[in-house]
Amino acid sequence: MSEFAVFFLHGLAYAGLLFLVSAGLTLVFGMMNVLNFAHAAMYMLGAYFSYTLLQETGQFWLSLMVCPLLLFAIGALIERLLLRRVHVYGHVHELLLTFGLAYIITEVVKWTWGNYPLAVNIGGFLGETVELFGITYPIYRIFIFVCAIFVGAVMALILYKTRLGIILRASVNDGEMVNALGINVPLVFTGVFAFGAALSGFAGVIAGPLLSTYPGMAAEILIDAFVVIVVGGFGSLGGAVVASLLIGELQSFGVLLFPKLSIALVYLLMAAVLIIKPSGLFGEKQ
Amino acid sequence: MTTQKYTSYLFIAGLFLLGAVMPMVLKQYHLNMLTEIILFALFAVSYNLLLGYAGLLSFGHAMFFGMGAFTVAVSLIHIPGLSIWGAITLAVVMTTLVGFVTGGLLLRHKGSYFALLTLAFNSLFYAVATKWHSVTGGDDGLSVTRPDLDFGFAAISMGDLTNFYYFTLVIVGAVIVFCWYFTQTAMGQTVLMMRENEERMKFLGYNTNISRLILFTFTGTLAGLAGAFYTLHFQFCSQSAISVDMTTTVLLMTFVGGTGRFWGPMLGALVYVILQNYLSNITDRWPLFMGLIFVFMVLFIPGGLTQIIQSLKNLFSGKRGTGKPLAAKEG
């Protein structure tokens, strides 16, 4: 029974991380129709920034604040200087651009920090364990899940309850009209992309202490995040929540129940969803 | 139109002639590279049929390439006495099947959705190739020996590089010419027009879904054939043949060469293989250069090398280029 609880909680923690990564991806995709292949590379960049900051200051909370801001700036620059220029050539060129960026970021990271895993120690009360349902469990994994709930709630509030959210959703539907109403739509899109990048940085800071920091971390989570978006439905925040939970638990219990098959389970889920509902669980019909 | 076709035939004959004299000119090392260029040219041509002609951006083309490569390796190891033709045929059959089944699932989506799904499927194949150690060799890969080319009355040793080069030149070259011929047929033209205006093609009574599935399966088979030659050429096959990096490689070849012309990707394969060979001797940071070339090309030369060639042509003939990526055209 306690084994079940441990794996369940492991699944929740991974689901939380997956949601944090895919939320930014799905936001940018849903709003700008740009599938950002560099998203996971930015996430890795966030993790490495956080590693360095922790080495220098030892302040986890500080890096949780600063790294997303750094990524926000990087994201804004990428959108402004690169992505916007290739928009006229269509989505193939946009995809290729972010793909090339992912390569560059990964190589720069290897160059700067080396091609080996770096362990991240956070210390403080987050590094301790807690008694839960009669088992000892690391607080940090619970913290990840709480973070995911927090980020999801804030995003939903902004998108559906504020004036900013109305502007965002309107810009997607009819950019010209919103522009004519005196709102700087290109700036809105820069903001959306930068916010997506900031989210990736936030996820990266969170991931560091859980998975350690290494150059392969981007490629590893990228595919899972893509599967989350496919299963949940493209551009759907609610879909990302449900799909993250499904895939997190599937990964966790897959290792416990079918150790040999575990790597294929996620893809089998994806294939099953595609056969039954090609647009994903919460996706609108294309 | 007829003169254009005539020029194309001359061009093809010239290329074969050039290929035929190469073993007398080149050293073994460079002949090795040329064999690699030819097989990657087929891979890139098949990719361009998807990207340039049908407008489908796939991040999973390596699953066919790798499938072909692994089928040859596994069958040569487990079926004693299998001929080189038998192994190639098996690879072609396997990739056709895989193309048909995955195509049925993947083609329900378009644009970025399609790109993302192909990536996920490629990852599934990669995961299987890595984990299924008893069959695929996992990280260690599989080593094979090229069987001789047996005609019944006479056998040609494939252990000799020059012989294998000629074999590759003839077979892969013929398949590439067939691809070119395909783009001239009604089916090839249908694909082009489908990309331009699918609604109209539907209205005219074409079943665009089936046309697309046929094209997808066809390009998968071609990539599988290229993969088969990849194993035969290197006499080795590892999971890198089926990795996302292999898709990136073909994507970059196609993109550098330019999707605007049928011959563009072949030029891209040539430039890529040569560049990679020399750059990897100089620096370990090859992927960084790859990324930089990618971003630079997307920003400044979205039409690839064919765009530059076209602009130069226009310059000399007094016309002005548009600076936009060219649409795929025949010839």
Q: Rounded CA gap, B34 and B36, in Å? A: 5
Residue with tokens 């150690």: B133
* One-letter amino acid for residue B189 of the chain: Q
8 Å CB contact between B227 and B67: yes
**Residue A8 touches chain B, beta carbons under 8 Å:** no
Q: Rounded CA gap, A205 and B313, in Å? A: 52
Q: List residues of B whose CB lies inside 8 A of any A CB.
A: 51, 55, 57, 105, 108-113, 115-117, 119-121, 123-124, 127-128, 131, 244, 248, 251, 255, 285, 287-288, 290-295, 298-299, 302, 324-325
DSSP class of residue A87 equals G
Residue B277 CB neighbours (<10 A) = 15
Report the alpha-carbon angle B13-B19-B24, nearest 5: 135
Which residue of B50, B105, B113, B114 is the best one to mutate when testing the A interface, meaning the one whose CB has the most A CBs within 10 A?
B113
Q: Rounded CA gap, B301 and A245, in Å? A: 43
CB pairs under 8 A between A and B: 104
Q: What is the mean pLDDT of residues A257-269?
A: 79
8 Å CB contact between A77 and A188: no
**Residue A230 touches chain B, beta carbons under 8 Å:** yes
pLDDT at A78: 94
Find the CB nearest A264 among B108, B127, B287.
B127
Backbone phi and psi for residue B322, each to the nearest 5 degrees, phi listed first: -85, -20
Residue with tokens 């690169």: A82
From chain A residues 173-212, the ones with a CB under 8 A of any chain B CB are none
What percent of chain B lies above the pLDDT cut of 90?
23
Taking contacts as CB-CB distances below 8 angstroms, the residues of chain A near B120 are 223, 226-227, 230, 267, 270
DSSP class of residue B308 equals H
Cα A286 to its chain centre, rounded Å, is: 24
Taking contacts as CB-CB distances below 8 angstroms, the residues of chain B near A264 are 124, 127-128
Taking contacts as CB-CB distances below 8 angstroms, the residues of chain B near A267 are 120-121, 123-124, 127
Q: What is the pLDDT of residues A169-222, one digit of tens each?
A: 888 888 888 888 888 888 988 999 999 999 999 999 999 888 888 888 888 888
**Nearest-neighbour CA in chain A from B226: distance (Å):** 24
**ipTM of predicted complex:** 0.77
Backbone phi and psi for residue A92, each to the nearest 5 degrees, phi listed first: -60, -45
- B131:A99 CB<8 A: no
Residue with tokens 């493209």: A234
- A286:B110 CB<8 A: yes
Residue B239 pLDDT grade (very low, low, confident, very high; cuts 50, 70, 90)? confident
Residue B284 in this model has a pLDDT that exceeds 80: no
Token pair for residue A286? 């294309």
Task: Return the SS3 of B218.
Answer: helix
Q: Rounded CA gap, B238 and B318, in Å? A: 51
Q: Rounded CA gap, B264 and B307, in Å? A: 9
Beta bridge partners, A137, equal: A130
Residue B91 in this model has a pLDDT that exceeds 70: yes
Q: Give B156's contacts (C-beta < 8 A, 6+ positions apart).
A: B148, B149, B163, B167
Report the alpha-carbon angle A14-B248-B97, nearest 5: 85
Backbone phi and psi for residue B201, each to the nearest 5 degrees, phi listed first: -65, -40
**Nearest-neighbour CA in chain A from B73: distance (Å):** 23
- B119:A226 CB<8 A: yes
Q: Rounded CA gap, A97 and A181, in Å? A: 31
Residue from A182, A202, A172 nearest A34 by CA: A172
DSSP B100-116: HHHHHHHTTS-HHHHHH
Residue B47 in this model has a pLDDT that exceeds 90: yes
pLDDT at B231: 93
Residue from A186, A198, A197, A252 nearest A224 by CA: A252
Residue from A274, A17, A238, A239 nearest A148 by CA: A17
* Range in A44-48, A149-153, B281-285 the model is least confident about: B281-285
Residue from A60, A36, A54, A48 nearest A194 by CA: A36
Quote the crossing angle between the two packed helices B264-282 and B286-300, to the nearest 10°: 140
